A and B are shown apart, each in its own frame.
Chain A
């Protein structure tokens, strides 16, 4: 007759014990995910948004053959390098980095006509125009206010389509610090004056979101999404990338700890409060002491490709049930538009014929 365990810890799996799950594991094999509430199939449309770390997730999802959903693709005449420079394909739609939960909520509201910020465009000194809510999406700014407004209309169409059609939404929380409009609370991804616009203390204020605010904004975003797309599944992650700078009156290291702690708490609370919302621990995989900091580059901020690969290997194992090492890399070659390719060939023939015809004329 076996003895009954004498206390609750005795029945727990290895993953519950630091020695067996962290200190005693080869770093490359560390896997902090115990279970996930759903799987992603190859046909599921996976949409992404969030801070810069989310770009890595988007890139890897495309490379390993997920049905990565891009509702605002570059027009086929734009070469890949140009499309990338203009923010296409970085995320599902061309919204640029979304750092805070409030920014996500306001994007959904703006795209659906529920919120129109008073400060809706910035005029640059050189006569060009910036979208305050994605100020770097056009590297040199828009050529005119009309161009900005028409492009935004297209962009909002793409955001609404993404909301309607996505199956899985992966959102990476990046920051709690933000600059907001004192007039209507609009949240800017970057401080006015840093990438367009002019900073004005009367109109622009600093805000460091609390855990409660972040939870409320995330819940409101998910509810907004599911009001339109009830079966949408959500994966929340926290960016491991430290703050580049803080506007709070504290050291950037403690400010980073505060910010990431709030985001981590919010992600946890929301995943417990809503069904079909998962928290995926990319933050822990990158920042965990087990890696002894090797997943950060020399600047102690940028995440190395090795770290991103560890994150995505773990992601795929649990959400897709696949071993990433066994999946053939499907890095897409820059797509060549069939129409443009055939026109290039025809133009070559056309121009050769012009010269041949002229030569024939000279001979006569």
Chain B
């Protein structure tokens, strides 16, 4: 039984607290595991908030018949959840590895770029220089096809405020090499891209998510500052999932607490975004 079903069993008594529905892809898993950890160890964090997850990579929620511009083609299970669960807030954690496609593993033509606002980050002038605007446009182009259609469809059906959550910053190079997963063969041919480049790409992807969401009227919740290590460039090693890109349950706990706090603040302030 999936986590969604596991939570459905708790519907016997009427729920009077807040209801949060998370919809997303693989980065949602850390939050699901984080919820279990909170329920087991610090249930007071959750209070009377009920949380559900619709992981679009699980069979029931897969977007196999989804057509861009046609919200009615979202999976039935998701549409039912949007209607029957009556969420007070929908939190989207859609996709989130667009930057890793381009710069998890070093490209055969290594590149680098300057990140505005963070001029102290090193720039390797021996690589092909891309302009920041070209990288921005590339990741925005990617988000327009990977995230925007799903977000727009959910917005069309949602009766509650829709919010997006940033996805986790990069993981340590040593960790990626130690847990290469499906990238094992790729990493035998090519090195892991430098951390500074991976951080820059994550940062640009995140800023483009904000840009996309701003255009759609969706608020974005940043990942909490306490998930970064002391360099400020990557996820704390203790929060790494044993794979190259995802956060673990510990990360999920911190991210979920951030969302809960955001929701309470917004709810208390009477804000709907």
Known A85-B137, A143-B114: A349·B131 in contact at CB below 8 Å? no
Q: A141-185: contact bitstring with B at CB < 8 Å (1 yes, 0 no)?
A: 111101100110010000000000000000000000000000000
Q: Which residue of B lies closest to A344 (CB)?
A: B101
Query: Taking A147-B114, A340-B102, A355-B29 as contacts, is the C-beta distance between A75 and B131 under 8 angstroms?
Result: no
Inter-subunit contact B102/A343 (CB<8 Å): yes
Contact yes or no, B104 A343, CB < 8 A: yes
Q: Which of the segments A49-57, A76-84, A230-238, A251-259 contacts the partner chain? A: A76-84
A141 nearest in chain B by CB position: B133
Q: Are A151 and B131 interface neighbours, CB within 8 A? A: yes
- B138 CB contacts on chain A under 8 angstroms: 77-79, 82
Q: Is the CB of A86 within 8 A of B104?
A: no
- Which residue of B29, B129, B190, B243 contacts A151 across the interface (Cβ within 8 Å)? B129
Candidates A75, A344, A355; contact of B128 at CB < 8 Å: A75
A347 to chain B: which residues have CB within 8 Å? 97, 100-101, 104, 245
Check A354 against B105 for contact (C-beta < 8 Å).
no
> Quick check: A346 and B186 within 8 Å, CB to CB?
yes
In the complex, how many angstroms separate the beta carbon of B118 from the nearest chain A beta carbon? Answer: 11
B125 CB within 8 Å of chain A: yes
From known contacts A343-B101, A351-B25, infer whether A142 and B137 are also in contact, taking CB-CB under 8 Å.
no
| C-alpha spacing A78/B182, complex, angstroms | 24
Q: Which of A142, A354, A363 contacts B131 (CB 8 A)?
A: A142
Is there a chain A Cβ closer than 8 Å to B16's Cβ?
Answer: no
- Taking a contact as CB atoms closer than 8 A, the residue among B97, B100, B133, B182 that contacts A353 in the complex is B182
CB of B168 closer than 8 Å to a CB of A: no
A78 vs B109: C-alpha distance in the bound complex, in angstroms? 12
Write the A336-362 contact mask toward B (1 if CB under 8 angstroms, else 0).
000110111011011111110111011
Are B105 and A343 in contact, CB atoms less than 8 angstroms apart?
Answer: yes
Q: Which residues of A contact B134 (CB under 8 A)?
A: 75, 78, 82, 86, 138
Q: Contacts of B3 on A, CB cut-off 8 Å?
A: 362
Question: A350 contacts B181, CB within 8 Å?
Answer: yes
**Residue numbers in B under 8 Å from A81 (CB-CB):** 141
* Range for the number of chain A residues in contact with chain B: 35 or more
Measured in the bound complex, the distance between the Cα atoms of B105 and A347 in whole Å is: 11
Q: Which residues 224-247 of B sit at the A interface, judged by CB distance below 8 A? A: 241, 243-246
A340 CA / B190 CA spacing, docked (Å): 13
Let me know if B14 is at the binding interface, CB within 8 A.
no
Q: Known contacts A350-B244, A353-B181; decide if A75 and B6 are in contact (CB<8 Å).
A: no
Are A143 and B108 in contact (CB-based, < 8 A)? Answer: no
Answer whether residue A140 sits at the interface, using C-beta atoms and an 8 A cutoff: yes
Question: In the complex, which residues 53-79 of chain A have their Cβ closer than 8 Å to any Cβ of chain B?
Answer: 75-79
User: How many interface residues does chain B have, given as a range?
Assistant: 35 or more
Cβ contact within 8 Å between A343 and B129: no
**Considering only CB atoms, which chain A residue lies closest to B190 in the complex?**
A339
How far is the CB of A343 from the nearest CB of chain B, in Å? 5
Query: Which of A154, A351, A355, A362 interacts with B6 by CB under 8 Å?
Result: A362
B142 smallest CB distance to A (angstroms):
8
If A82-B138, A147-B114, A350-B243 touch, whether A339 touches B131 (CB-CB below 8 Å) is no
A361-B34 Cα distance, complex, nearest whole Å: 13
Q: Which residue of B lies closest to A341 (CB)?
A: B101
Give CA–CA (A142, B130) in the complex, Å.
11
Question: In the complex, are the beta carbons of B141 and A154 less than 8 A apart?
Answer: no
A151 CA to B134 CA, complexed, in Å: 12
Given contacts A78-B138, A358-B32, A362-B6, contact A346 B182 (CB under 8 A): yes
B111 at the interface (CB under 8 A from A): yes
Given A77-B111, A154-B128, the answer on whether A349 and B182 have CB atoms closer than 8 Å is yes
Q: Is the CB of B116 within 8 A of A143?
A: yes
Contact indicator A86/B137 (Cβ below 8 Å):
yes
A139 on interface, CB distance cutoff 8 Å = yes
Contact B55–A75 (Cβ < 8 Å): no
Residues of chain A within 8 A (CB-CB) of B128 are: 75, 154
Q: Chain B contacts of A140 at CB under 8 A? A: 133
Q: Could you tell me if B137 and A358 are in contact, using CB atoms closer than 8 angstroms?
A: no
- Tell me the complex Cα distance, A144–B115, Å: 10
Do residues B133 and A143 form an inter-chain contact, with CB atoms below 8 A? Answer: yes
Tell me if B66 counts as interface (CB < 8 A to partner A).
Answer: no
B245 to chain A: which residues have CB within 8 Å?
A: 347, 350
- Complex CA–CA separation, A354 to B108 (angstroms): 27
B15 at the interface (CB under 8 A from A): no
| Interface pair A340/B101, CB less than 8 Å apart | yes
State the CA gap A141–B116 with chains docked (Å).
13
In the complex, whether B65 has a CB less than 8 A from a CB of chain A is no
Cβ of B85 < 8 Å from any Cβ of A?
Answer: no
Known pairs A77-B102, A82-B141, A143-B133; list 19 more (Cβ under 8 Å). Answer: A75-B111, A77-B107, A77-B138, A85-B137, A139-B133, A146-B114, A147-B131, A151-B129, A339-B190, A340-B107, A347-B104, A349-B182, A350-B26, A350-B183, A350-B245, A351-B26, A351-B57, A351-B97, A358-B32
- B interface with A by C-beta (< 8 Å): 1-3, 6, 25-26, 29, 32-33, 55, 57-58, 97, 100-102, 104-105, 107-109, 111, 113-114, 116, 119, 123, 125, 128-134, 137-138, 141-142, 181-183, 186, 190, 241, 243-246
17 A-B pairs, CB-CB below 8 angstroms?
A: A75-B109, A77-B130, A82-B137, A85-B137, A86-B133, A86-B134, A142-B131, A142-B133, A143-B131, A339-B105, A343-B100, A343-B186, A347-B100, A350-B182, A351-B25, A352-B26, A352-B57
The 10 closest A-B pairs by CB, nearest first: A351-B26, A355-B57, A358-B29, A354-B26, A143-B132, A82-B137, A143-B116, A343-B101, A349-B182, A350-B182
